[in-house]
A and B are shown apart, each in its own frame.
Chain A
């Protein structure tokens, strides 16, 4: 096998490796007939990413003859990343990049032909592997948003770098809202600030979602794909379903496509979703949710014992779910009571088990339609009234 990348495409490839490196520690490289695929999955299997570079992306693309199995190997992300570490020098000095597999020495050979005739040769050790494949289908997701990466990139810019998760939702007037996701038990200093960005629907090329839907996912991985899409000047599509089901982020052009599948925070009470969506009032996520979680947790825990789940935190989280939760009252609309509520919360939910869970992409989706008891609703209502 041998593939040769030239000019600006070297940087595109490098950028893709950088965004993949935000997810997994291992890179699965596969030479398929429809292009070079780079894939990775994170250790908790809650995030998966793949890029496929079409043969036309390369100046030269040689793969195994059709009757043979495609060449595939697994290498350490770190070692592959080191080849493309400095994007600036990549852009400024690298003219050609040649990737080939040396079967005799079992090395993946990456050669960079640089300015002034300088040549860098990396012989990377690799492992044989099976194909890495996540099961997902963007077409099955009822909600789709698509916008230029630049728009979304600017929207996530104000979020603090340390912020782990962000909530994406559709609010009143079909404005798309990105809000920093706050964990209940987090340090109050951090909690002191909620950042919310709201983007008008006119900035979106496609907006197919009802008001009131919202999902929460990890920002780091999302940023990785965004920065790739921004540098390639592409649009980013977001396909998602109910909270807890994986969200699929895609970029596409004629020479490449990229898919990032990220777990979303599971919804303590999925059934209340319909109620939530009926209620156009924009969620005030962090405000409302506090009191509800504990009842649902039992169900979640049961389910989770069957799957590989990633518990990002231990502690009580009112959990996302803001707007979707509360069946009745709307007090959530007023941003005022934020601080009071924060204070009140500890007494409301003492010693709650950790409700915040990302489900494994590979198992979670099967089990996702967990039905929680309706129990929590009354509690919710009470609390909400109390706030109001």
Chain B
């Protein structure tokens, strides 16, 4: 039997299985896989929503799904781009029926829907999610279920926009540092926002790794020695001093707070890549990546 109308579908399954918990969501739709170009379900919606929150600094995001998982991209001012990678393995079920599926969506609305049962649920209760997308022009359908209650959300999708290509290539990377996120968290939360830029110094010599701000009250520097216990890896080949707009980097604090490790890389053009490793509640790992253009060529001094 094939249900055309998802509403009807859910109502029917509710009628037949009021007690339904997880099986309720998994049972339905099975018949009509072919109809969808993307079907994904997972037992704990927070494994998905948490990662999205880490890149939520603009209202709109572009979703790009392949067999391997979903990449969600957010951009601002053509200068910064954040990508969240949610591998297929995070989902209990993940099917992409085309080579790739791309759509643009209001991320704020998507996150609101994903936390429709509350963003901090009581311990022991999980919200399950099934997400279906029929293809170009169709809305993204979310079926959320907690304790036998099902919410269906339809979010209109938009024309996908071309995303920026930062052309950040690992062969061009000059300096690379991997830090335990703990060491950066405080630094980022206390950044002097009266400073227009955050200056990042990476060098094989002192001060090795330095974050500087130049605000109304004066300047601040934060130095990390290369032999610090926070430093997981230190591969710096030449001294680079680059400035980045602090307003563009500040949003990455969201990802930093969730992450356990962060890799900081700069390439030969001074472009910055921040990769955050985020461990979810089930111990699986996802990645969030930020790219940022340098602000200007810094003067030789300072």
Contact = CB atoms under 8 A, between A and B. Distances in A.
Contacts of B217: 75-76, 78-79, 82, 124-125
B224 interface: yes
Nearest to A112: B222
A85 interface: yes
Contacts of A120: 220-223
Residue from A89, A93, A107, A121 having most chain B Cβ neighbours under 10 A: A121
B139 interface: no
B186 A119 contact: no
Interface string A268-292: 0000000000000000000000000
B192 A82 contact: yes
B20 interface: no
B171 interface: no
B170 interface: no
A76 B190 CA distance: 17
B229 interface: yes
Interface string A60-88: 00000000000000011011001001100
A118 interface: yes
Nearest to B220: A122
A125 B190 CA distance: 19
A118 B230 contact: yes
Nearest to B209: A118
Contact of A123 (B219, B225, B230): B219
A197 B138 CA distance: 64
B186 A93 contact: yes
Interface in A119-156: 119-125
Nearest to A126: B218
A161 interface: no
B16 interface: no
Contact of B221 (A76, A89, A108, A121): A121
A102 B170 CA distance: 42
B183 interface: yes
Interface string B207-232: 00000000011111111110111100
B220 A121 contact: yes
B50 to A, nearest CB: 24
Contact of A116 (B190, B192, B218, B230): B230
A117 interface: yes
Interface residue tally on A, bucketed by range: 20 to 34
Residue from B186, B190, B221 having most chain A Cβ neighbours under 10 A: B186
Contacts of B228: 116-118
A85 B192 CA distance: 11
B224 A117 contact: yes
A85 to B, nearest CB: 6
B227 A124 contact: no
Interface string B81-99: 0000000000000000000
A85 B221 CA distance: 16
Given A82-B217, A124-B217, A125-B217, A117 B190 contact: no
Interface string A96-111: 0000000000011000
A75 B228 CA distance: 33
B139 to A, nearest CB: 44
Contact of B222 (A75, A119, A123): A119
Nearest to B219: A123
Interface in B194-248: 216-225, 227-230
A375 to B, nearest CB: 53
A96 to B, nearest CB: 14
B229 A116 contact: yes
Nearest to B190: A85
B223 A118 contact: yes
A112 B250 CA distance: 23
B218 A125 contact: yes
A119 B192 contact: no
Contacts of A119: 221-223, 225
A63 to B, nearest CB: 22
A75 B216 CA distance: 12
A113 B186 CA distance: 14
Nearest to A109: B218
Interface in B149-201: 183, 186, 190, 192
B128 to A, nearest CB: 37
A76 B215 CA distance: 13
27 contacts: A75-B217, A76-B217, A78-B217, A79-B218, A82-B217, A85-B190, A86-B190, A89-B186, A116-B183, A116-B224, A116-B228, A116-B229, A116-B230, A118-B183, A118-B224, A118-B225, A118-B228, A119-B225, A120-B220, A120-B221, A120-B223, A121-B221, A121-B223, A122-B220, A123-B219, A124-B218, A125-B217
Interface of B: 183, 186, 190, 192, 216-225, 227-230
Interface of A: 75-76, 78-79, 82, 85-86, 89, 93, 107-108, 116-125
Q: Which 7 residue pairs spanning A and B have beta carbons closest together? A: A79-B217, A124-B218, A117-B225, A121-B221, A116-B228, A117-B228, A119-B223
Given A86-B186, A118-B223, 11 more contacts: A82-B190, A82-B192, A89-B186, A116-B224, A118-B225, A118-B230, A121-B223, A123-B218, A123-B219, A123-B220, A124-B217
